[in-house]
Structure 1
Amino acid sequence: MDYTIFAVATFIVALLVFGGVFLIRPRRSEPPQQQPRQEEQATADSGTAVAEPTETESAEEPAEGSGAVAEAEPATPATAEPAAPEVETPPPSAGRMVRLRSRLARSQNVLGRGLLNLLASDKLDDDTWEEIEDTLVTADVGVESATAIVENLRTKVKVLGSRTQDDVRQLLREELLTQIDPNADRAVRTRAETDRPAVIMVVGVNGTGKTTTAGKLARVLVGDGRSAVLGAADTFRAAAVDQLETWGNRVGAPVVRKDEGADPGSVAFDAVARATEDGADTVIIDTAGRLHTKTGLMDELGKVKRVVEKKSDVDEVLLVLDATTGQNGLRQAQVFSEVVNITGIVLTKLDGTAKGGIVLQVQRELGVPVKLVGLGEGADDLAPFDPETFVDAILDGE
């Protein structure tokens, strides 16, 4: 009895154990690739594929060929290095005025032809000679120079007697050259006698082309194989400083500058020091455009010169005059000559006026030669003044 009960109990326990193992055994999971296939199908239907990053792929860089679209970080714009200005090689100064003669001839043709026609007239009476003198005065030759020219011509015509066109032209040519003085020293001192850079100050009122002249002069020097340093001492006008730096960059001439409103004497002094350190041939100092009616500003110009002279002698003081201003330009020259020792005149815009007689008048009044002339707006239109080329351009035309 007991044995039977024990057997039945054992059977029941075994049955329960076997059935429990079967019931609690976990169901076999789906193949790992099945779920991704379902997601891929779902995203394909929507037209957008989403890829999870792997160990070798970042979330910002989707796998190649997966078709995944990911938002990338905005690219940092590259900062381009500013291009260095191209350094130009200007032509030499020799022969510039000859090459620019046609421009001068066009502007001076009225003066030359008018004089030649009057002198070649059949009757050279007092009225004709007076008209000749008026023509000269109108051309800004000046009363004293015009009177001297007429008196000398009257004497020569009376002595020679002949008044052919060639004779008249030759007489007038000789007289104009005498008044201009072809033997005057017109060389710009761009090299000092001692072992130091030559110092050139460029002065004049605003509007005459002063800063442009300083830049063009640097081109002349570089074209002649010299080295130059520019001093931007016109510290009252930022535009003038930038303009001068542009001229310097074009020919590789260093420019010494300071902030707007800085002491111009300090800039000029530093420019001379820089030229000395670099072993440059010449330093060109562009000064502020002084109004000749302002005594204080003129005094300051004298101060700039004195400050420079603490470092070096000043070899040239070039006064820039606008040839079209006539008598006003002459008054400017007189005032400037009282403040600083003017050594030479630069006449700009000489191609834009028929009043080229200012060349004669300014030399007669100041005893200072015209050394440079501006015959156009081009970078290389500043030329050493040549009296014979000037007179021939007046008389011959094109």
Structure 2
Amino acid sequence: MQTPVPDYLKHVLSQCQRNVGGQLADYIPELAQADPNKLALALSTADGMIYSSGDDGHEFTIQSMSKPFAYALVLEQLGIEEVLQKVGVEPSGEAFNQISLDKELNIPKNPMINSGAITTHSLIQTTAGISRAEQLRRFLSELAGRELSFDEQVYTSEMKTAFRNLSIGYMLRTVGALDTDPVEIVNGYIQQCAIKVTVKDLANIARVLANGGLHPKTGECLLDRAVVRQVLSVMLSCGMYDAAGDWLTTVGIPAKSGVSGGIIGVLPGQVGIAVFSPRVDEHGNSVRGIDIFERLSADMGLHLMEGTPSAQTIIQSCYWAGKNDDVRVYELRGVLQFTESEMLLRNLQEEPPGDTTIVLDLTNLTLIHDVGARMLFEGVERLQQDGHRVVVVDSEGILSEAQMKGNKRVVVKEKLTKYLEKFQ
């Protein structure tokens, strides 16, 4: 059979194509020349499958959709606490290009508005001969899975009308938020916004965030999980500018828009979504793009506040093994976070004190959160205090070194069947 997902995406585009509201972002001369009828949608699952429809091969400039990833890059380079000294995380309630700062801290309110994004760009750590914009291009290329390039025409066009961003740059330099030449930083920021992407590129980039920073195919860690959480939190509260509250209630997906007509959205653990349609509203958000996201959220139950219940059980099976039936095996499945860990410990507390060997098999777990690992090993310690010998089978290496710290002695890396042969 053929999956119905592509047909569904085509249907959504056909329904939203009728919406002809909004205007091209004509304050950037080159964007005023865009084809207003272009329309594209791409969706990428956390495990790496991508679906797309419409003008999915059409390239456009990333514009403000670069902001979350510049933010992610500097968070990786400098750490969250250091970046928070320069850029806040509070929703501004103002237009994206407002010339303003936090009144108490005298820093930009968040990294999604232009003042915060220009400051963030200035924080990108560079090496000799490699500009900040080039650093970000390389980073986005790695996330997208292909080499991205700059649109020099859009960059040149935007520089001709960059008076407001230059004003923001000079303001930031005046208050000490920028340590270098504001013209150089604003130039780099505008070049950052001129990186060319397709909706498929953006969906691929978004899926790394959806996957907690891991590349879905290789398992390589491209972003620290704490950085992903920080970025998605700011996207949810600030990514759609002064329309963020309306977006949160109607769509409920962490997102970021760009005045070229794109919107990128991330539902943690599930999907990355990207849309493109050049006509934007008074907030700078794609009109058709909003329509598409509202339909996807409603039809597919993607609203973040519609969180699905945790698994009814973390225990796939529980049985006796060994020659004398003196080995108690718990095979676990799914994701081990607080709710599932509490459920597991509640079952383990039913084990009476004794000298039974208890085996906790992690083979079928897909993810262990830090809290899950802590609770798991706390359970191990308490079982040991009751006289049991406890072994954690981690043949797939799902536990990180940090999660195993102090508990490696109870972890074995061989397959469950191989380990149980010792008791035959």
- Which TM-score band (shorter chain)? under 0.3
- TM-score, with structure 1 as normaliser: 0.22
Greater relative contact order, per chain length (Cα 8 Å cut-off, separation 6+): 1
Return the index of the structure with the highest Cα Rg: 1
Indicate the structure with greater strand content: 2
